[in-house]
Amino acid sequence: MDNKQYFYRTVIFTRHGEQIALADINNPKQITPLEEWLGIVISLADGQHSIEQLIGFLSAQYSDVPDKLQETVHSVIERLTDGEMLKLSDTAVELPYYLASPIEHLDLEKARTLIKEDGYVLH
């Protein structure tokens, strides 16, 4: 995996305390909780940071960096890309309004309108 690539989410998410979950724009109370590592990466997948920066950020969160942190991050990214919840790019990506923030920070009507206008298919 090329750590210079940028990573970005393709799903709408929500944050309830420490729990990150997938959210349904048409039924915001319907959520699908994510495993901790998957949620962390989805919440940070803003298209403006590289995998290398993600690893650096996560490393800074620990007083003693876990062994195989890079391998864990790569595995999580692979799972998310296989599930089409995350994509990789060689350049930074500007996320559309409806993917840029957790659902609780969105104007839902605006988000739904933009999704329809963009012809965006939610995963």
Q: How far, in Å, CA of 75 to CA of 70, rounded?
A: 9
What confidence tens digit (pLDDT) does each residue in 11-59 have?
999 998 889 999 999 998 899 999 999 999 999 999 999 999 999 999 8
pLDDT band at 123 (very low <50, low <70, confident <90, very high): low
- The CA distance from 66 to 91, in Å, is 29
In DSSP terms, which residues pair with 19 in a beta bridge?
Answer: 16
Q: Where are the domains of the chain?
A: 6-118
Neighbour order of strands in the sheet with 6-9: 46-50, 6-9, 86-89
Q: For residues 100 and 94, what is the distance between their CA atoms, to the nearest angstrom? A: 8
Contact 3, 50 (CB under 8 A): yes
Number of CB atoms found within 10 A of residue 25's CB = 16
Q: Which CATH number does 6-118 carry?
A: 3.90.930.60
pLDDT tens by residue, 64-105: 877 899 999 999 999 999 999 999 999 999 999 999 999 999
Task: Look at the pTM and tell me if it is higher than 0.85.
Answer: yes
Q: Any residues with CB less than 8 A from the CB of 93 and at least 6 apart, and which?
A: 6, 8, 47, 48, 87
